[in-house]
Chains A and B, each alone.
Chain A
Amino acid sequence: MGYVAVTGGRTAIENANKLVHSYRLKDAERAIEVKEIESQMRLLVDRVMGEGGLYAPEYAALALKQTEGDVHEAAFLLRAYRSTLPRNHYSMITDPGEMRGIRRISSSFKDIPGGQVLGPTYDYTHRLLNFDLRNESGAVEQFLEDFALELDTEMDTPSFPKVMDLLREQGLVANRKIDEVEPFDITREKLAFPAPRSARLQLLSRGETGAMTALAYSSMRGYGAVHPTIGELRVGYSEVHIPYPFADEEEDSIYIGELKLTEVETVNSFTQNNQGDVEFMLGYGLTFGQNEVKAIAMAILERSLETQGQSPTQDEEFVLLHIDSVEAQGFVSHLKLPHYITFQSMLDRIRQAQKESKVETGSKG
């Protein structure tokens, strides 16, 4: 019997699952612990949480283990898991200005109140493979012990005033009124265009790092208008509170934990000011975890979308609908699904059209 359309689906899937399991472990000396991923693949975990839109370091680490480190797949697992959870609370406003900072820099000013704090960054490392890391056993315990002692004595948890407030006080930055409108919730409503700013920011905040970096880069390089200065980039921990359900006063709240966040505020040329005021324009980026390139890209794209023009990054549908990791990855890879029927339909059209064109050439000749 000849070829039969992909069939025996159930067995095929079961076998594929077995193979995935086997490929994940077949060359392993021991299975990697979720905890190890969580503690040692910190930036990867942060990225997955950011793109998955779920702040859960342990689950992000589990997702990475399960997907053998595929970032798209891992973010996707978190998103899908989110779909099973009811929305119980909306938090109070979290102010990253009050965060417990671990890193904070400004490219606009040399001296800033509170000082520049380089913190944990690869920015000034030499990108040389460190072969010592191939075997860290023994030494690592010693190092950590020493380091912990050092940390304990000197560790303070500073919170810094915002650099942008300096400019704001001088009337150099648009000091817009605080918008008290209830934010749009992209997980509970379908986005309509033009999109409210709150929706734009949410979409950018969980956008795919690579896609956003590429688009922001295009805007800086020549396909757009935005080439900002970083007023401030900060990484740290912000407390999250939810309203106390039996509160007498509106401000009563319960502390439920803290989020590691990266926040970027950029300063942009005043010539981009739509209102015609001579004021710097602010660009804003915020992501889960430490993901600096994404936060900067977000600030660029967010600002770019506020400007008018023909470049791709000034088109909100183009930017917002194509930076989502789950959607882009899903639709591009759906081409792997069978398309026998649509292809048959196309075959029918080309055969009929060929027939027509042959009739035509025939009649001419």
Chain B
Amino acid sequence: MSIQLEREYNYAFLDEGSKKEIRRSTLKAVAIPGYQVPFASREMPIGRGWGTGGLQLTLSLIGDEDSLKVIDQGHDDSVNAVSIKRLVESCSNVTTTDDSEHATVIQTRHRVPEIPLRDDQILVLQVPLPEPLRRTEAKEKVTKRLHAEMDYSSIWLRLYEDIVKWKKITIGADYPSMVHHRYIINPSPIPRYDVPKLHQAEGLYLFGAGREKKIYAIPPYTDVEPLEFLDYSFEVENFEHFTCHLCGCTDSFLDEIYDAKTGEKIYQCSDTGYCNTRQREREAL
């Protein structure tokens, strides 16, 4: 075969019919906050489980006017973020940026940026395991029914057992949270530190799970409450007494890193875009 196509791939990779279908599922997700909308996830040219859900959302949403930021662990220059940016650049005319305030769409893995989202911005989160009840129930058929009946006793019990055994709720990232008093979600593996940012936010949060074929959303001004007990409240990661060694920030989420030579433990902002801006501001002073 030697047919030469004018352009080898469609704008934004997916064919137009597929993009439309993904947008329809997204609209449904926005209409029912926290509900996991099934969709026929397509195979993407990056690893399945490496952000294909987020990528499909991003590709279905962006057009020439958009400016895209992609982060992984809060980091613009992390290899997977770069790989995703390069793919979007290669199949569309979308410009990319590191500046979260300049971006219209931000795709992220494991972090919510430090600077709050505006109402004209969309945060696309990559989701490995969308089902919060998978912690206690392996079967999709069953968890689907539990959501429908709002039967969340098993996850509460799981938290209770944690406390009995460890005196702490041991869930680190991806902390189960109740969306608008109806559906419990996995907020994707963002740290607990980021969960409060989802509550009554101005911007739109979209969650895409490619391998598990689900889309869900937290629309603006939605109540999002991490699960907690009256006597055992939700706790965010503790960075008390630590500051970023680059920008001096005392209240951001910090990466704990070890100096390659001295082995000394130091801390720096995980959100590199935020940290760079702060460093520039400090220098300007």
Q: A12 within 8 Å of B by Cβ?
A: yes
Within 8 A of B (CB), among A155-207: 186-194
* CB–CB B168/A353 < 8 A: yes
16 contacts between A and B (CB under 8 A): A5-B73, A6-B75, A6-B79, A83-B15, A84-B14, A189-B40, A190-B38, A190-B214, A191-B213, A192-B144, A321-B140, A337-B50, A340-B110, A344-B253, A346-B172, A353-B166
Q: Which residues of A contact B253 (CB under 8 A)?
A: 341, 344
Q: B132 within 8 Å of A by Cβ?
A: no
Contact of B260 (CB < 8 Å), options: A3, A345, A353: A3
For chain B, the bracket of interface size reads 35 or more
Chain B residue nearest to A328 in the complex (CB):
B48
Q: B190 within 8 Å of A by Cβ?
A: yes
Report the bound CA distance from A241 to B264 in whole Å: 69
* CB–CB A9/B237 < 8 A: no
Contact with B along A311-340 (1 / 0, CB 8 A): 000000100010000110111111001111
* CB–CB B170/A353 < 8 A: yes
Report the bound CA distance from A341 to B256 in whole Å: 9
If over half of A's interface residues share one DSSP class (helix, strand or loop), that class is named, otherwise mixed; here it is helix
For chain A, the bracket of interface size reads 35 or more
Nearest chain A CB to B81's CB is how many angstroms away? 7
Report the bound CA distance from A12 to B75 in whole Å: 15
Q: A55 within 8 Å of B by Cβ?
A: no
* CB–CB B74/A341 < 8 A: yes
Q: A31 within 8 Å of B by Cβ?
A: no
Q: A118 within 8 Å of B by Cβ?
A: no
Nearest chain B CB to A340's CB is how many angstroms away? 5
Chain A residue nearest to B193 in the complex (CB):
A345
Contact with A along B237-269 (1 / 0, CB 8 A): 110000000000000011111111110101000
* CB–CB A87/B17 < 8 A: yes
* CB–CB A83/B43 < 8 A: yes
Q: B10 within 8 Å of A by Cβ?
A: yes
A5-B73, A337-B50, A340-B255 in contact; A356/B40 too (CB < 8 A)?
A: no
Q: B83 within 8 Å of A by Cβ?
A: yes
A2-B258, A5-B257, A189-B40 in contact; A341/B83 too (CB < 8 A)?
A: no
Closest 6 CB pairs of A and B: A330-B48, A345-B172, A2-B259, A331-B49, A9-B82, A190-B38
Nearest chain A CB to B25's CB is how many angstroms away? 9
* CB–CB B48/A352 < 8 A: no
Nearest chain B CB to A334's CB is how many angstroms away? 4
Q: Which residues of A contact B191 (CB under 8 A)?
A: 341-342, 344-345
Q: A347 within 8 Å of B by Cβ?
A: yes
Report the bound CA distance from A278 to B248 in whole Å: 79
Contact with A along B63-86 (1 / 0, CB 8 A): 000000000111101111111001
* CB–CB A338/B73 < 8 A: yes
Contact with B along A130-146 (1 / 0, CB 8 A): 00000000000000000
Nearest chain B CB to A3's CB is how many angstroms away? 4
Q: Which residues of B contact A58 (CB under 8 A)?
A: 1
Contact of A3 (CB < 8 Å), options: B40, B72, B170, B257: B257
* CB–CB B128/A356 < 8 A: no
Report the bound CA distance from A189 to B25 in whole Å: 11
Q: A8 within 8 Å of B by Cβ?
A: yes
A7-B77, A193-B141 in contact; A327/B49 too (CB < 8 A)?
A: yes
- A residues adjacent to B (C-beta < 8 A): 2-10, 12-13, 58, 76-77, 79-80, 82-87, 186-194, 317, 321, 326-327, 329-334, 337-342, 344-349, 352-353, 356-357, 360
Q: B270 within 8 Å of A by Cβ?
A: yes
Chain B residue nearest to A321 in the complex (CB):
B140
* CB–CB B44/A80 < 8 A: yes
Chain A residue nearest to B13 in the complex (CB):
A84
Chain A residue nearest to B194 in the complex (CB):
A341
Within 8 A of A (CB), among B1-57: 1, 9-10, 13-18, 21, 38-45, 47-50, 52
Q: Which residues of A contact B172 (CB under 8 A)?
A: 342, 345-346, 348-349
Within 8 A of A (CB), among B59-116: 72-75, 77-83, 86, 109-111
A85-B15, A356-B166 in contact; A327/B83 too (CB < 8 A)?
A: no
Report the bound CA distance from A186 to B75 in whole Å: 35
Q: B161 within 8 Å of A by Cβ?
A: no
* CB–CB B82/A83 < 8 A: no
Q: Which residues of A contact B254 (CB under 8 A)?
A: 344
A84-B13, A86-B15, A344-B237 in contact; A9/B77 too (CB < 8 A)?
A: yes
A3-B257, A80-B45, A326-B43 in contact; A338/B111 too (CB < 8 A)?
A: no
A327-B48, A330-B211, A341-B190 in contact; A5/B17 too (CB < 8 A)?
A: no
Report the bound CA distance from A2 to B40 in whole Å: 45
Contact of A9 (CB < 8 Å), options: B74, B81, B256: B81
Report the bound CA distance from A12 to B16 in whole Å: 33
Chain A residue nearest to B38 in the complex (CB):
A190
Report the bound CA distance from A188 to B25 in whole Å: 13
* CB–CB A6/B78 < 8 A: yes
Q: Which residues of A contact B189 (CB under 8 A)?
A: 339, 341-342, 345
Q: B280 within 8 Å of A by Cβ?
A: no
Report the bound CA distance from A5 to B80 in whole Å: 13
List 13 extra interface pairs beyond A83-B15, A342-B173, A349-B172, CB under 8 A: A9-B83, A80-B43, A84-B9, A192-B144, A326-B43, A340-B255, A341-B74, A341-B173, A342-B172, A344-B256, A347-B256, A348-B238, A353-B168
A7-B77, A330-B49, A341-B270 in contact; A190/B167 too (CB < 8 A)?
A: no
